[in-house]
Structure formats: structure tokens, C-alpha cells
Amino acid sequence: MIPRAEQGGTDQERGLAAANAFYEHGVGRAAAEHVSSLRDAGHTAQMKPGFWERIMESLESSPMPEQEWEPLLEILGDEILGKLTGVSDSSMRRYRNGERKTPDEVAGRLHFTALIVADLLGSYNAFGVRRWFGRPRAQLHGSSPLETLEPEWAPEDSGPQAIRELAAALLAPLAS
């Protein structure tokens, strides 16, 4: 969703481009409208304190299956993503290609999976992420994340929440 830049790093203009890209997808509209109104008034766009926190909160609360199928398939592959979302290969293909709208419950599982994968990518490459889902975990009573997620799971269920906490813990600062 975010426009690619020729150079690495971030600056205010690229941050604003990202906010506008999110806005175009219906995410973080209030924050992006604030920036847009400042620009329209001829002021230098200043991001208020909490701007990115509001954008990130909006992103976490906004499934966007049109944007999430392809990257997750690239990382997880058909088999793992099918198990995680509870859909067949043929349904996944239709949803991914826009032939059918992704049902809300599937979009919720897909988005939750995207949040977990985003946390995992802070520590693992794609191969490591796939293996992480299949490895038994003591915190999951010896089950793997794939085994813990029952076919009709919902993001608010205790099993998925425990898996999200495991993935997020990988981003926690190391104790010195």
C-alpha cells in the first residue's frame, strides 16, 4: 500500500505518503485528514503527537484482505495459509483474485495471521516463519500454533491470543 521510495530511511514526506496510502484504503482517515487540511491551508504538515500510534491502531483493527492475501501466500504458502484461515485452495484463489469477496470471518483470521506474521518477520525470514507455525511450544501445552488454531477459530479466542503474544514476545527488548 505504501509507495516505494528510491532511497532507504524515512522522512516527513514519505511518512505523509504512507498516511495518504492508508487513507486511500480507508484506514486512519481522521489522522490523514488532519494532515491534508494543514496542507490545504498552506501550512507545513505537522504530525501531532500520537499520529502514528493512531494509524497503527487503525491498521490493527482494519482487515484488508485485498492487500493481505498475496504477501501472506508468498511467505506461508497455500497449505499453511489454508489451514490458518480455514479455506480451501480453490476458495483462496477466488478470494485472492477478487472473483469472490472474502467473508468477514475469513478476513478476520487472515488479518490476525498478518499481524502475527508481521511480528515474526522481526526475527525470522519466510522459511523461519513457516517453521515457527509448525513447532510445538511449551506455552501452548506442547502443541504447535497450527495445531492450536481450530478450523473455525476467531481472533479473540484464547488460543489465537496466546499465539499472538508468543509472536509479539519475539520483538520485546532483550534483558541485559
Q: How far is CA 92 from CA 33, 86, 126, in A?
A: 34, 10, 20
- The confidence score (pLDDT) of residue 2 equals 44
Residue 150: band (very low, low, confident or very high) from pLDDT cuts 50, 70, 90: confident
Global confidence as pTM = 0.72
Q: Which of 23-27, 45-49, 156-160 has the highest mean pLDDT?
A: 156-160
Q: How many residues does the chain have?
A: 176
Three-state SS sequence of the chain: CCCCCCCCCCCHHHHHHHHHHHHHCCCCHHHHHHHHHHHHCCCCCCCCCCHHHHHHHHHHCCCCHHHHHHHHHHHHHHHHHHHHHCCCHHHHHHHHCCCCCCCHHHHHHHHHHHHHHHHHCCCCCHHHHHHHHHCCEHHHCCECHHHHCCCCCCCCCHHHHHHHHHHHHCCCCCCC
Q: Which grid coordinates belong to 153?
A: 477459530
125 pLDDT exceeds 80?
Answer: yes
pLDDT at 18: 65
* pLDDT at residue 60 is higher than 80: no
